[in-house]
A and B are shown apart, each in its own frame.
Chain A
Amino acid sequence: MQLKTGRRGEASCVVGVPIFLQVIEMNILVCVKQVPDLEQMSIDCGSDGVPVIGEAAEFRMNRFDEFAVEAAVQLKEALTGVRIDVVSVGPEPALAVIKRAIGMGADQGVLLDTGDQPDAGPAEVARRIANHATSHRYDLIFTGSWSEDGMNGQVGPMAASLLNLPCATQVMALKLDEESRIAAVEREVEGGHRERLELRLPALIALQSGINHPRYPSLSNLLRANRQPVDIIAPSPDEKGIDPVVCLGLMRPPRTRAGRLLEGSLQAKAETFLSLLREKALIR
């Protein structure tokens, strides 16, 4: 089955290409995103009730992507011949998260620059990643489950779909059989149940948080990351502004409950807390 990957009409990878190499070589692509540190971010209420987002004080790697980088680095440590590329779609400051991923153990980085449109939507991000992956031969593509700022979780399934790769999201366990080229995964579903799947490589896997414990970058790797150039690739005209979905504006989450804010001293609030429990006959 072939799939057009873009308006250029190229065909992407064809499933079932025999692997002639006897030496096991595994190329992994890890997708990371830079996000604002939400805890440091001020959100004020504008005059018309529309939230006004303050400038982000700090940016960092999307927490969910750290699990993806760690999973790749663990494979690299367990097997021989593993090479990890890390890719980010974003503005130039996102180089910082690429460097962090290299600091964690990735080999090479590439920034798919979004230039004057820093907030590319999931469809555009997926297209950029798919176009990049088409010209490289990746056996595995890892992503996080979603980004903390956009909260979509669409890039992984979309990129897999454009590349005609099998895909599993919310993956909580991963076992690779490099000879049969099968990734046995467990995906976490509602209620914590685990669906077991076997994906034929190449495959895209979106990892669930908690699958591992992401490491801190090592000093030697960080030094290497600082020396090493990162490719910066500008969007081609047919990659720009392709997401038909746009954000009209923001709004405050509607209240489902009263959310009465207790007033007074710490002491008074603690007393009210206890009297509420007493009113509800939950304590004596």
Chain B
Amino acid sequence: MTNAADIIVVVDGTGGVLDPIAYEMLAFARRLNALAAGRVQMWVLGEASEGLAREAAREGGVDATALQCPGLSRYFSEAFIRILEPTLRAAAPAYVIAAHTSCGAEWAPAVAARLEAGCIGGIDGMGQEDGRIWFSKDRLGGKVKGRFVSDAATTVLTVQPGCFKFEGRPEGGGTGRVTRETITWESEQTRFSGVAPAPGGATSLTDATIIVAAGNGIGEEENLQWIHRLAERLPKAVVAGTRIVCDRGWLGYDRQVGVTGATVAPALYIACGISGASQHVMGMRGSGFVIAVNTDAQAPICAEADVCIAEDLRTFIPTVLEIYAKQLENEKGG
């Protein structure tokens, strides 16, 4: 690359739009730039990505390069690796920033391995200690976060969506410079053959006012009855689950909330036996009010909930239903 930069934000522009994560990555890059000197630049990959690079330069005030790759109509790992490995090697930035999505989490470690770069994935925070910049990410099922540092000349970072807020163009900053580069590439080992919609299709999850969700902590399939019973009693309530509950076949994948499932924002989210791993939390963070029912008051879900109830759902939900039935009865009687 002719325009070497110290922090390069790599954006997948194959979909023809700049996803919000593109600007979140830029926000992350600027925070990093406050700790690590250098220049921030954005690369937008796509078949015809110049329009998107212009948009990023205008809206984000960042110098943007359109890496126009003829025939790149959709992300797939071999294509991105073939395009990015040589270009990043030549640019030799201190940091490469990618989105921690199904795409970024796939190509970023692959490219890092070839560049002998460090790779830290799923980042949700950063800081500095004794002059070293650390990045935080989930460990141990989300029960703790690790603070990771990299000693490599180049470090590839993937940023968790929804964690870094974009505040617009820096004050006094104008539109960024836009450059364009055409990169020819060829895929030898992979053929992309289309996208199929999610099996099961759309569900009512996104329209529900209340979601009662079950996680691995419900223990046995038969305990799912309590989740169903609670949802039946509450108005406009539906049952959902975490990935593991769907993997076990206890609920269909159309009921899954999380990264590879639905993203929901009900007025009330009742998380039952859910530990709170980021893959799930990212799908429910927009909920109005969150109540967690979990035997483990230390579970990470409690940090994502407004109210935590440290009880076994097998006794808690029956008690709730019993009291609720009595209250309704009294109301009728009165």
Give the interface of A toward B (CB within 8 A): 1, 3, 15-16, 36, 38, 41, 43, 51, 53, 63, 122-123, 126, 148-154, 157-162, 165-170, 184, 186-200, 203, 208-210, 213, 243-262, 266-267, 269-271, 273-274, 276-277, 280, 282-284
Main secondary structure, interface of A, reads: mixed
Quick one: which of B141, B195, B277 contacts A196, CB cutoff 8 A? B195
A284 and B107 alpha carbons, distance in the complex (Å): 51
Give chain A residues whose Cβ lies under 8 Å from the Cβ of B247: 209-210
Q: Which residue of B lies closest to A257 (CB)?
A: B306
Residues of B within 8 A of A280 (CB): 267-268, 288-289
Judged by a CB distance under 8 angstroms, whether B97 is at the interface is: no
- Contact partner, A270, options B134, B193, B316, Cβ 8 Å: B316
User: Given the known A-B contacts A253-B303, A260-B308, are A197 and B151 also in contact in the complex, defined by CB atoms under 8 Å?
Assistant: no
Which residues of B does A touch, CB under 8 Å? 74, 76-78, 81, 101-103, 105-114, 117-122, 125, 129, 132, 134, 136-152, 155, 188-200, 209-210, 234-235, 243-244, 246-247, 249, 253, 256, 259-263, 267-268, 277, 285, 288-292, 297-298, 300, 302-311, 315-316, 319-320, 322-324, 327-328, 331
Are A166 and B189 touching (Cβ within 8 A)?
Answer: yes
B308 touches A199 (CB 8 A): no
User: Considering the chains assembled together, what is the distance between the CA atoms of A208 and B106 in angstroms?
Assistant: 13
CA distance A51 to B285 in the complex (A): 24
Q: Are B324 and A274 in contact (CB under 8 A)?
A: yes
CA distance A284 to B331 in the complex (A): 10
State the Cβ distance, B200 to closest chain A Cβ, in Å: 8
User: Which residues from chain B contact A249 at a C-beta distance below 8 Å?
Assistant: 146-147
A79, chain B: closest CB distance, angstroms: 21
A168-B77, A188-B260 known; A41-B320 Cβ under 8 A: no
Evaluate contact between A38 and B196: CB separation under 8 angstroms: no
User: B306–A258 contact, CB under 8 A?
Assistant: yes
Q: Are B244's CB and A209's CB within 8 A?
A: yes
Q: Which of B139, B145, B148, B306 counts the most A-chain CB atoms under 10 A from its CB?
A: B139
- In the complex, A251 Cα to B327 Cα: how many Å? 43
- Contact at A160–B209, with CB atoms within 8 Å? no
Tell me the minimal C-beta distance from B161 to chain A in angstroms.
Answer: 9
The answer to whether A150 touches B190, judged by C-beta atoms less than 8 angstroms apart, is no
Question: For the complex, what is the distance from the CA of A257 to the CA of B108, rounded to whole Å?
Answer: 31
